[in-house]
Amino acid sequence: MAKVIAVCGKGGVGKTTISGLIVRLLKERGLSPILAVDADPSMNLNMTLGLHVGETVGNIREEAKPEKGKRPPSMSLTEYFELKVNLSLQEAGSFDLLVMGRPEGKGCYCSANSNLRERLKKLVSTYKYVVIDNEAGLEHISRQTDGSVDVMLIVSDPTPKGLMAAYRADELIEGLENEVKKRFLVINRATSEIPLTMQIPLAGHLRIDPILSEYELVGRSIFELPSDAIIYQDLQDILKKINEDCSLW
Ligand SMILES: Nc1ncnc2c1ncn2[C@@H]1O[C@H](COP(=O)(O)OP(=O)(O)OP(=O)(O)O)[C@@H](O)[C@H]1O
Ligand SMILES: [Mg+2]
């Protein structure tokens, strides 16, 4: 069974950066194969990881509609999804990237949807680790955490509004039917330790790291950051702490 680590939080708090850094850390620890999932329709995890976006799952779902005439009559829906989803994976040696793209629309094409979900579940089970970069906000969380999540990182900035959003996300996730085994709060762009009275365990703080914007501006991926970069050091401490609590590796 793959260990699933998902990252959520309000807009711009650092979800994609943190997801990318987790992929890097797992890769460097030799914990492959890893599947990185971009579950944000604005699709930018690929840039953080230094990859291109190929076909998205949203497009595959759309193209499978009978009226599109893309699926050969001799091919079952299961075979079609298997082929297309495998082709859509961006492979980078020790990890692959799956881009979800646009979510299911209204009037969903239901047999295709359930078939595709089954296909994705099977795909996930072939990896050791799955890292999911979620879309900002709350309303989609119940959709995106389709299946079990071992660790959900709720990211917040060090502001009262940010923490309130994290608190709401925590409450929402607690009420989900989908299984989220452990939830942790991560405070990003921290300038000092913040005293917290929230129930959700704090995994740690990430300090502001100016090198991130320098590298981003010239299109360098998260793998090119020096290993002693502040943010990477802090992220390693956070995952070490989480690992002590719930044996990620
Ligand atoms: N600790 C940090 N220090 C400096 N810059 C940071 C830090 N964390 C994130 N950033 C920068 O902040 C910006 C937003 O980060 P990121 O894209 O990871 O957030 P996000 O939560 O995924 O945003 P969105 O909700 O739009 O998907 C990026 O330019 C990133 O490099
Ligand atoms: Mg993002």
Q: Which ligand number lies closest to the CA of residue 18?
A: 1
Burial zone of 214 (CB within 10 Å; 0-12 exposed, 13-18 middle, 19+ buried): exposed
Q: Which residues pair with 149 in a beta bridge?
A: 180
pTM of the model: 0.95
pLDDT (mean) for 46-59: 95
Report the domain count for the chain: 1
Instruction: Please state, in angstroms and rounded to a whole number, the distance separating the CA atoms of residues 89 and 57.
Output: 10
202 with 188: CB under 8 angstroms?
Answer: no
Residue 144's identity, in one-letter code, is: Q
Instruction: Please report which confidence band the pLDDT of residue 135 belongs to, taking 50, 70 and 90 as the band edges.
Output: very high
Q: Output b/e per residue, 83-92; b: 16+ Cβ within 10 A.
A: ebbeebebeb
Q: What's the domain range around 121? A: 3-246
Residue 140 · residue 178 · CB < 8 Å = no
Query: Percentage of residues in the chain with pLDDT exceeding 90?
Result: 71
The tens digit of pLDDT for each residue in 172-200 reads: 888 877 688 999 999 999 987 777 777 89
At 178 the pLDDT is 65
209 lines ligand 1 (CB under 6 A): yes
Taking residues 121-131, what's their average pLDDT? 94
Predicted pLDDT of residue 140? 67
Q: In this structure, what CATH number is given to the domain that contains residue 83?
A: 3.40.50.300
Query: If you measure from the C-alpha of residue 118 to the centroid of ligand 2, how many angstroms do you get, rounded to a whole number?
Result: 26
Residue 72 Cα to ligand 1 midpoint, Å, equals 42
- pLDDT-derived band at 28 (thresholds 50, 70, 90) equals very high
195 CA to centre of ligand 1 in angstroms: 23
Ligand 1 in reach of 170 Cβ (< 6 A):
no
With a 6 Å cutoff on the Cβ, whether 12 touches ligand 1 is: yes
